[in-house]
């Protein structure tokens, strides 16, 4: 037989007037815990992808359902294209800064400034052509439906650029 | 100076204007407050009595966990969409020199 003076369960130990508070605090604590636990585990995969340097390619693999072979081929294409992309980037920067310098130096249109603008446009045209060619090569590696979707998505981003992707990247990282 | 002040204070008479229904209004306010307090007291007593039943307390905690999980999943869906767009932007940056240029 148990001693009635010794409490036998947790609920007996808590004074009835405090029980409501204890239950409410426990419910709130468990609610918050499950909220953060669910959020942490459900976002972990994509969060890790954003932190990885190859996150962009990993996005491509999942978004367009690439097989390992397709992914490997696209990775090779990307590796071959990267130096050309960097080179184009430098040429655009150079041509734009030349235009900027001439605009600052002149107070009216000069043949030199006109030539610089035409050169910058030519560089842009060349870069867009090369980028589009790369997009075609990548889409050719995909399944036809995914390839078409990729082509539409990338062509719209490259040929009719809206707000820069960098705006989105900065907004998300800040 | 003190005498003068004392005289003025002695001659000072306050004639408060008390409304005719002053007493009734005071009692009305007391009644309203008592009704409010007793309603709150009733709710508290009811809640305490309810939580005395372990089954109800467990249900409250389980419900809270369910709500937390639901909100957590909804929030993670929003965060994943945002990060997915960020990854798309990262990829576009890696193939488009104009976009790449913006990162400098």
The reply to whether residue A35 touches residue B96, judged by beta carbons under 8 angstroms, is: no
The reply to whether residue B73 touches residue A42, judged by beta carbons under 8 angstroms, is: yes
Per CB-CB distance under 8 Å, the chain B contacts of A50 are 83, 86-87, 90
CB pairs under 8 A between A and B: 168
Q: What is residue A1's DSSP assignment?
A: -
Token digits of residue B18: 């008390």
pLDDT the model gives residue A168: 45
Find the helix or strand (DSSP H, E) in which A106 lies.
Answer: none
Phi, psi of A58 (to 5 degrees): -65, -40
Question: Does A4 score more than 70 pLDDT?
Answer: no
pLDDT digits (tens, 9 = 90+) for B58-100: 999 999 999 999 999 999 999 999 999 999 999 998 898 887 7
Per CB-CB distance under 8 Å, the chain B contacts of A167 are 102
Contact status of A152 with chain B (Cβ, < 8 Å):
no
Question: Does A2 score more than 60 pLDDT?
Answer: no
Residues 6+ apart with CB under 8 A from A157: A165, B92, B96, B99
Per CB-CB distance under 8 Å, the chain A contacts of B80 are 42-43, 46
Question: Does A106 score more than 60 pLDDT?
Answer: yes
Per CB-CB distance under 8 Å, the chain B contacts of A58 are 87
Mean pLDDT, rounded, for A53-59? 92
> What average pLDDT does chain A have?
84
pLDDT the model gives residue A103: 92
CA atoms within 13 A on the CB side of B38: 6
Q: Point out the least confidently predicted range of A76-90, A130-144, B77-91.
A: A76-90
Work out the minimum CA distance from B16 to partner chain A, whole angstroms.
47
Tell me how far apart the alpha carbons of residues A50 and B89 are, in angstroms, rounded to a whole number: 11
ipTM above 0.95, yes or no: no
Tell me how far apart the alpha carbons of residues B101 and B53 are, in angstroms, rounded to a whole number: 66
CB atoms within 10 A of CB B44: 12
Q: Point out the least confidently predicted range of A9-18, A76-85, A132-141, B46-55.
A: A9-18
Name the residue among A166, A164, A92, A156 with its Cα closest to residue A125: A92
Contact status of B78 with chain A (Cβ, < 8 Å):
no
Mean pLDDT, rounded, for A145-165? 80
CA atoms within 13 A on the CB side of B62: 6
Tell me how far apart the alpha carbons of residues B79 and A46 are, in angstroms, rounded to a whole number: 9
* CA angle (A101, A107, A109) in 5-degree steps: 85
B51: nearest CB among A20, A63, A124: A20
Question: Which of A56, A87, A160 would you mutate first to test chain B, the one with the most B CBs within 10 A?
Answer: A56
Q: 36-65 in B: which are within 8 Å (CB) of A?
A: 44, 47-48, 51-52, 54, 57, 60-61, 63-65
CB atoms within 10 A of CB A100: 12
Confidence of residue A162 (pLDDT cuts 50, 70, 90): low
């Amino acid at each position: 037989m148990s001693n009635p003076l010794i409490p036998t369960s947790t609920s007996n130990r808590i004074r009835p007037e405090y029980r409501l508070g204890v239950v409410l605090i426990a419910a709130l604590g468990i609610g918050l815990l499950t909220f953060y636990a669910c959020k942490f585990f459900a976002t972990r995969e994509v969060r890790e992808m954003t932190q990885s340097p190859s996150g962009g390619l990993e996005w491509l693999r999942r978004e367009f359902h690439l097989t390992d072979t397709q992914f490997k081929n696209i990775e090779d294409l990307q590796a071959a294209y990267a130096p050309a992309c960097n080179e184009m980037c430098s040429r655009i920067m150079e041509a734009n800064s030349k235009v900027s310098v001439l605009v600052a130096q002149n107070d009216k249109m000069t043949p030199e400034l006109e030539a610089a603008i035409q050169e910058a446009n030519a560089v842009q045209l060349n870069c867009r052509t090369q980028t589009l060619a790369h997009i075609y090569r990548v889409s050719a590696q995909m399944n036809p439906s995914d390839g078409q979707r990729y082509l539409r998505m990338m062509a719209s981003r490259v040929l009719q650029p809206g707000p820069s992707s960098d705006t989105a990247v900065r907004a998300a990282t800040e | 100076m003190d005498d003068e002040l004392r005289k003025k204070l002695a001659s000072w008479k306050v004639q408060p204007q008390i409304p005719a229904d002053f007493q009734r209004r005071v009692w009305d306010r007391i009644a309203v407050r008592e009704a409010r307090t007793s309603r709150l007291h009733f709710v508290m007593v009811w809640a305490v009595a309810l939580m005395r039943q372990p089954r109800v307390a467990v249900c409250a905690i389980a419900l809270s966990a369910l709500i937390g999980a639901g909100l957590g999943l909804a929030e993670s869906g929003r965060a994943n969409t945002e990060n997915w767009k960020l990854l798309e932007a990262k990829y576009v940056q890696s193939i488009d020199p104009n976009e790449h240029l913006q990162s400098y």
